[in-house]
Structure 1
């Protein structure tokens, strides 16, 4: 089965936090990647002795990847509910985070079930519901 790689358009809602490097269609969803830049200002002081990518940024990455995956078919998505979020290990500066997500939905709502990993190690699992903007 072929895959489609979606261009990540600069600008849009993503600025100033660009939480996605690339996204490609896969099965009933998508696979996206984000390399955590150690020079990004939001990492300073989070935490001073161990630079950790804030967990909420994984949720932001999921949203940005979903919007790129939809490629303008909707006016974007808004988070309605975090059904579950389970962090297994921290994402660190320099890590390439891979988010694999299944997307399902109807009547203006989408549900994503995502696994975040780096180097083959699971970082988090996220189940979220999104409202589709017209």
Structure 2
């Protein structure tokens, strides 16, 4: 993501700060326009949208707005369960490092079951 760009999707609905990181939530809705045609008989939320959710949550947590943080690398991403329409994803993220480079370790869960684990590095513009 680059500062000032228009975000085509809302990948996180809420963000709460906690010691060492933040927790975000996203309700997956089948009628979201960016999911149209994505496995029409079974709406599966793409894994890349989970990574986008981590980025948007980090931006909102750190700066209160979307933009200004870009993905440097994904060290690992393991997707263990599909996220489906109607699910609410919880992003539990630990943040380490100092600006301009931050590392995150995120467990994504639905109803307490892990659906993804993502480790990534981000560059902050400010």
Q: Please report the TM-score for the alignment, with normalisation by the length of structure 2.
A: 0.89
User: Which gives a bigger RCO, structure 1 or 2 (Cα 8 Å, sep 6+)?
Assistant: 2
1:45 aligns with 2:16: no
Q: Distance in 2 between matches of 1:14 and 1:63?
A: 14
Using the TM superposition, give the Cα deviation of residue 72 of structure 1 relative to its aligned residue in structure 2, in angstroms.
Answer: 4.7
**Within 2, Cα distance between the matches of 1:55 and 1:82?**
12
Q: How many Å separate the matches in 2 of 1:40 and 1:107?
A: 34
- Tell me how far 1:107 sits from its aligned partner: 5.0
The aligned counterpart of 1:117 is 109
Cα distance change on mapping 1:62 and 1:48 into 2, 3 Å: same
Query: Is contact 1:14-1:64 (8 Å) kept?
Result: no
Match for residue 20 of structure 1 among 12, 24, 31:
12
Equivalent of residue 47 in structure 2, options 47, 50, 55: 55
**Secondary structure, counterpart of 1:83 in structure 2:** strand
Matched, 1:67 2:31: no
Paired with 2:6 and 2:92, the residues of 1 have a C-alpha distance of: 19
Tell me the distance in 1 between the aligned counterparts of 2:72 and 2:7.
21
Question: Shift of the alpha carbon at 1:49?
Answer: 2.7
Aligned 8 A contact 2:94 2:104 in 1? yes
CA RMSD of aligned residues (A): 1.8
Number of residue equivalences: 122
Task: Name segments (4+ residues, structure 1) moved above 6 Å.
Answer: none
What runs of 5+ residues in structure 1 fail to find an aligned partner?
A: 1-11
Is it true that 1:132 corresponds to 2:119 in the alignment? no
Q: Match of 1:99?
A: 91
Q: Give the unaligned 5+ runs of structure 2.
A: none
TM-score calculated relative to the size of structure 1: 0.84
